[in-house]
């Protein structure tokens, strides 16, 4: 039996890191059991339904437009060879990298001296 490259320390470190990353979600879930205040009741009675429906509609619209554009461009790259095919093929991967770049950029700005 081949000994694993990473020992038990790597597994324990990974479990610790995963536990630390779960803390914010667990705190939010714990607040489900805290009594609701007046602010929450006010939101429920006035604007919450409208905000949730607008959010759902926006998410649905963005998802459908993204799916349509992604499917059409993927189909074009898979079926046809045209000038600029290679550039388009690589450009289709950019949406996967942009959120990471935006997060890094905002984090760098947050950690600046002026904060």
What is the C-alpha R_g of the chain? 23
**Global pTM exceeds 0.85:** no
Range of the domain at 51: 37-111
Residue 79 lies in a domain: yes
Number of structural domains the chain divides into? 1
Give pLDDT tens digits along the chain (115 positions): 676 666 678 888 999 999 999 999 999 999 888 888 898 889 989 999 999 999 999 999 999 999 999 999 999 999 999 999 999 989 998 888 888 888 888 888 888 877 5
């Amino acid at each position: 039996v081949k000994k694993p490259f990473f020992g038990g320390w790597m597994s324990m470190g990974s479990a610790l890191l995963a536990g630390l990353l779960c803390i914010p979600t667990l705190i939010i879930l714990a607040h489900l059991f805290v009594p609701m205040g007046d602010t929450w009741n006010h939101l429920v009675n006035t604007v919450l339904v409208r905000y949730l429906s607008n959010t759902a509609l926006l998410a649905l619209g963005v998802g459908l437009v993204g799916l349509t554009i992604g499917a059409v461009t993927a189909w074009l790259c898979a079926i046809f060879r045209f000038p600029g095919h290679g550039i388009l093929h690589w450009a289709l991967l950019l949406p996967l990298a942009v959120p990471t770049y935006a997060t890094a950029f905002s984090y760098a700005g947050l950690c600046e001296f002026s904060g």
